[in-house]
């Protein structure tokens, strides 16, 4: 019997690095600064809709960089943990397909899209928004474009087969006709709508959930996937032997 040299935990380095970075930032916020310094840090780097109608610390620069930096901050370690658990499988799938730099760019775009929709729906609101949920939603949506395809990671149940992550992606119209994806979309949007009508908190997180940002990131990931996808629409997948 041949032994596999494949590691038990085959997670792309960029995914592990992002998760480690999020944990380090939260550790710094939890353990190092005073409450006043922590508040000042949030005022400079959290996404605050009122920043665009009133004067806030950071000025013009913060109006730009907070479209991204908010996604690196979290309410507590439980918040980091929840986002990391979801980011690990879906982010890994996307990173294997896109490579490091395309993946990072995709994560940035979905974070920006989440902040943009949150701004439109909360203009003038002083409550800060933090968390990587928009990006998590984006990579989740992006993975739907290829995960269910013939030969894909979910279709073949071979999560570590490199070829499974290089199958041609479904077109947006084709994805929206797939019953499996439709079921996923209905369940996902339904869950987020529940947040909007009252079920607005995760266990261990006191702040309300910015569900509009989730939707912004998800829609951007689903629609803009093709902008980043390095696999040609009609690429051929090399056959692999099965034991």
pLDDT at position 198 is: 57
pLDDT of res. 240: 38
Mean pLDDT in residue range 11-18: 95
Percentage with pLDDT > 70 across the chain: 83
Cα 162 from Cα 164, distance rounded (Å): 5
User: What confidence score (pLDDT) does residue 232 get?
Assistant: 83
Q: Looking at residue 19, what is its pLDDT?
A: 97
**CB neighbours of residue 46 within 10 Å:** 21
pLDDT at residue number 223? 96
For 70-106, the pLDDT digits (tens) are 999 999 999 999 999 999 999 999 999 999 999 999 9
Q: Quote the CA–CA distance of 181 and 86 in Å, as a whole number.
A: 18
Q: Is the pLDDT of residue 4 over 80?
A: no
Which distant-in-sequence residues (6+ apart) come within 8 Å of 101 by Cβ? none
Q: Read off the pTM.
A: 0.85
Cα 214 to Cα 189: distance, rounded to the nearest angstrom: 9
d(CA 168, CA 232): 7
**Residue-wise pLDDT tens digits, 150-200:** 777 765 445 556 778 888 888 899 889 999 899 989 998 888 777 666 544
| Complete domains list, the chain, with CATH | 13-228 (1.20.1540.10)
Question: Is there a contact between 148 and 178 (Cβ–Cβ < 8 Å)?
Answer: yes
**How many H helices and E strands in the chain?**
10, 0
Residue with tokens 């439109």: 120
Helix axes 59-69, 100-121, angle to 10 degrees: 120
């Amino acid at each position: 019997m041949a032994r596999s040299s494949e590691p038990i935990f085959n997670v792309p380095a960029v995914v592990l690095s992002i998760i480690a970075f999020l944990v380090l930032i939260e550790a710094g916020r939890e353990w190092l600064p005073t409450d006043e310094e922590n508040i000042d840090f949030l005022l400079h780097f959290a996404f605050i809709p009122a920043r665009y109608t009133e004067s806030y610390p950071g000025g013009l620069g913060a109006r730009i960089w907070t479209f991204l930096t908010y996604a690196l901050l979290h309410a507590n370690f439980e918040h980091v943990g929840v986002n990391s658990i979801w980011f690990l499988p879906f982010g890994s799938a996307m990173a294997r397909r896109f490579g490091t730099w395309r993946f990072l760019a995709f994560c940035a775009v979905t974070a920006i899209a989440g902040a943009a929709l949150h701004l439109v729906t909360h203009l003038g609101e002083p409550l800060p928004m933090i968390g990587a949920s928009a990006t998590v939603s984006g990579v989740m949506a992006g993975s739907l474009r290829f995960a269910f395809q013939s030969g894909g990671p979910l279709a073949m149940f071979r999560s570590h087969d490199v070829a499974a992550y290089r199958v041609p992606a479904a077109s947006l119209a084709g994805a929206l006709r797939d019953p499996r994806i439709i079921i996923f979309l209905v369940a996902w949007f339904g869950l987020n709508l529940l947040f909007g009508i009252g079920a607005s908190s995760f266990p261990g997180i006191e702040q309300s959930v910015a569900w509009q940002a989730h939707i912004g990131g998800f829609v951007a990931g689903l629609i803009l996937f093709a902008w980043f996808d390095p696999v040609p629409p009609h690429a051929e997948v090399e056959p692999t032997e099965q034991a």
